[in-house]
Structure 1
Amino acid sequence: MMVLEIVGGSLFGSLALVADGLHMSAHAGAMLIAALAYTYARKHATDSRFVFGTGKLGDLAGFTSAIVLAMIALLIGYEAVSRFLSPVPIHFGEAIPIAVLGLFVNIASVWLLSGGSHGHNHGHSHAHGHRHDKHAHEEEIRKIFAPAGVFAVSIFEDGVPPVFRITPVDGNTRPDPSAVFITTIRPNGTRQVFELANRGGFLESTQEIPEPHEFKANVQLADGEHEVEFEEHEHHDEAHDATTRDHNIRSAYIHVIADAAVSVLAIIGLVLARAFGWLWMDPLAGVIGALVIANWSYGLMRDTGAILLDMSPDQRMAENVRHAIEGNGDKVVDLHVWRLGPGHMSAVVSLTTNLPQHDSRFYHAILERFKGLSHVTVEVQPGQAAA
């Protein structure tokens, strides 16, 4: 299809058709980059020279594809300006059918990639199983108005098994955790009692909440019981996407979607040019296509570049790791959380404790609840713990 569009566009005078063909040819190269990245990552998944595995190879391939996209946008833009200045005759009867055929090929490619973009097995030497909870790690918040103050009751599951949290809204009142209990009552009458522990600024249940999260919850405070109700919802979480998204398959997907978009623009430009004699519509379609491609290139370059430079894609994960450590009375003095590959994060934690019986194994056990953490390093220093 690529060869047909380039040759046909050159013979019949359509820049939009040539641009679509050049676009498709560069994307074929980008698809090859994506395939080679997966092959190399899988082959070297257990190679000790890759200290944190080969998960970032997909991001490197995605960044490379983003640069290719940007070059395509510049090329199409340059050719479009040239056609504005020097219009050429277009053979519409031959160019339009080729453009329509190109659109069908691109739609088929989009369909094929969308079917294979969810179950890819990533090469990573520290791979651990992880699940995407139905709640997508967001909080369900209900408020309790008690004589002692206002409290927010929530189901928290950001990268961890779901737990209850009780947080004072005014930030001052601190209920005694030994006197606070939560009892869930499910539609079938099943009851479960949850005890809570002090985590500094909030109370958190020591047991995780089984699915589904649809029940009434009786919150026992010092002044009596307060009833709240939770319902099961579908949520979308951008932070979860940021840590699990495969930028290699995403780059390939963007390439074929961009191809389809440019094909549509080529058809529109050719049809309008034929119907009204607006020869400038053909290069205008090329300019619009170049701008669309440039925008997608920038987004992909920004996201993959951030990962290659070890920017943290999920600040909430870092805060949750900090709370999990400091909830035991210890003090985190240094913390780094970053992405190793799709669905895999790494954490380096340095902490001080005045409890000599707590060694690194103790804190590794605490952090096992974070299902996205595939590689954890803990440094324990004796010292004055946080109050």
Structure 2
Amino acid sequence: MTEHKHSHEKKTLWVVLLTAVTMVVEIIFGLTTKSMALLADGIHMGSHVLAIGLSWVAYIVVRKVSRSEKFNGNSEKILSLSGYSSGLLLLIFAFVIMVEAIQRFYYPVDIVYKEAILVATIGLVVNIASAFLLHHDHEHSDHNIRAAYLHVIADALTSLSAILGLTAAMIWDIPFIDTIAAIISSLVIIKWSVGLLKQSGAALLDIKPVE
């Protein structure tokens, strides 16, 4: 395993731990304060613990098999497979956001703006910190680290759009602005995930990546 892969493994582990701690804190405070916003965001964080945890496990597997004399395959394929799987999770995550946002048009709910903005701000700070941890040189990147990086960037984008949308909705009393912001974010995330699926899928099939 190269030095860069070992570095990626350690960075990914730190992000998993940071996200997991945030998840636990938000769920605990969501239960104690009876805040659905905090509880929902804590559960949502769990999906990212799963996705980024998958990236971390992939590096462990690569490290193990690279030391095994019985393994004669290409360890890079393991990272590409993990990246592809993570890309699928990212795509599902984007469609879930879009479906929930569209439902809000037909079934609007009362939003506790200040509480929701606080939750979104916590998520943004955590994801900015995670993005710094997962930042990597392009020439030393792989589909696995890129997938983990896209997950935290996508979540940061969602948090930022939520903050802007909620603030605008609170100031002008137009709740659907928050919904529009969520739909725009999901479209951007879908574009990122499709690009990741094309690149990692091409690597798995040993074909030239589709531009």
Per the shorter chain, which TM-score range? 0.7 to 0.9
Q: Could you tell me whether the CA contact under 8 Å between 1:65 and 1:251 is conserved in 2?
A: yes
Distance in 2 (CA, whole Å) between partners of 1:12 and 1:276 is 24
CA contact (8 A) 2:30 2:36 kept: no
Question: Which deviations, in whole Å up to 9, do the C-alpha atoms of 1:279-308 show, x marking residues without a partner?
Answer: 111222221121121111101000000000
The structure in which a higher percent of residues are strand is: 1
Corresponding position: 1:280 with 2:176? yes
TM superposition outliers: structure 1 runs of 4+ over 2 Å? 1-8, 11-14, 20-25, 46-53
Matched pairs, number? 185
Change (3 A) 1:49 1:40: same
Say whether residues 1:265 and 2:193 are aligned partners.
no
Structure with the greater relative contact order (CA < 8 A, sep ≥ 6): 1 or 2?
2
- Alpha-carbon distance between aligned partners in 1 of 2:208 and 2:70, rounded to the nearest angstrom: 23
SS in 1 for 2:109: coil
Aligned partner of 1:66 among 72, 76, 87: 87
Match of 1:255 among 151, 154, 169: 151
The offset of 1:49, in angstroms, is 4.4
* 3-state SS of paired residue (1:100): helix
CA distance 1:88–1:272, change in 2 (3 Å): same
Match of 2:113 among 79, 92, 99: 92
Q: TM-score normalised to the size of structure 2?
A: 0.77
> Deviations for 1:200-232, whole angstroms, at most 9, x for unmatched residues?
xxxxxxxxxxxxxxxxxxxxxxxxxxxxxxxxx
Whether 1:52 aligns to 2:73 is yes
Contact 2:105 2:176 in 1 (8 A): yes
Root-mean-square deviation over aligned CA pairs? 2.7
Distance 1:259 1:286 in 2: 11
Per-residue CA distance 1:117-138 (angstroms, 9 max, x = gap)? 35xxxxxxxxxxxxxxxxxxxx
Question: Which structure features the higher share of helix residues?
Answer: 2
C-alpha change, 1:34 and 1:12, in structure 2 (3 Å) is: same
Please list every run of 5 or more consecutive structure 2 residues that lacks an aligned counterpart in the other structure: 1-21
Contact 1:46 1:53 in 2 (8 A): no
Kindly state the Cα deviation for residue 82 of structure 1 after the two structures are TM-superposed.
1.0
Question: Highest CA radius of gyration, 1 or 2?
Answer: 1
Structure 1 gaps, min length 5:
119-239, 314-387
